[in-house]
Amino acid sequence: MLRLCFLVAAFSLSAVSASAQFRQPTAELTPTIEQQVIRAGQDVTLVLSVELPEDIHVQSDKPRDPYVIPTLLSFTLPEGLTVEEITYPESTDFLLEDWDEPLAVFDHEFTIEVRLALDADLSPGEVVVPGSFLYQACNDRICFPPKTAAVEWRMDVEAALTP
């Protein structure tokens, strides 16, 4: 009986270990704002720093393979804000075993920059900029299901300068 209990315990531990190897990696997202003073009527640069576990990458925003999910940062903007430009990092080539073409990927640490235009008549006060980060994490053997993470930036907007 003792031997049976030992085998069940050993099997349980190995099952936990195996499932941990295939646990979906999660991106650690750090939203920051470049400017110290943010005024209505000006542009502001939002930065999203992304950190994935070591040996994990994500597909780029412009993947070569049509079957993989591109990395995408999108917004639901409050009135008075407009996305002017989203700048993704340069992708790197990653060659999977038994594939002819390398994948275009972002390594496990990268940043995305977003230039927002603030309307001149934007009311002073706190403005929350909600975003959504879609990514497909992969290692050297498999790609995990796509995942979406919410992200937000908070900024205190001052009144526009009057000429």
Give the pLDDT confidence score for residue 11 in this predicted structure. Answer: 31
Give domain status of residue 120, yes or no: yes
Give domain status of residue 94, yes or no: yes
Length of the chain: 163
146-155 residue pLDDT tens: 999 999 999 9
Distance CA 58, CA 106 (A): 5
**Nearby residues of 147 by Cβ (< 8 Å), 6 or more positions away:** 24, 26, 27, 134, 135, 136, 137
18-68 residue pLDDT tens: 344 558 899 999 999 999 899 999 999 999 999 999 999 999 999 988 888
Distance CA 88, CA 48 (A): 10
Work out how many domains the chain is built from and give that number: 1
Give domain status of residue 30, yes or no: yes
152, 130 Cβ separation under 8 angstroms: yes
Amino acid occupying residue 127 = V
Of all residues in the chain, what percent carry a pLDDT higher than 90? Answer: 69
Domain that holds residue 93: 26-158
Distance CA 52, CA 123 (A): 37
Distance CA 82, CA 116 (A): 6
Give domain status of residue 117, yes or no: yes
Give domain status of residue 19, yes or no: no
Give domain status of residue 152, yes or no: yes
CATH code for the domain in which residue 136 is found: 2.60.40.1250
pLDDT at 12 over 50: no
Give domain status of residue 21, yes or no: no
Residue 98 — pLDDT band, cuts 50, 70, 90?
confident
Give domain status of residue 68, yes or no: yes
Give the pLDDT confidence score for residue 140 in this predicted structure. Answer: 86
- Alpha helix stretches (DSSP H) within 90-137: none
134, 86 Cβ separation under 8 angstroms: no
Please tell me which residue, 69 or 21, carries the higher pLDDT value. 69
106-135 residue pLDDT tens: 999 999 999 999 999 999 999 999 999 999
pLDDT at 79 over 80: yes
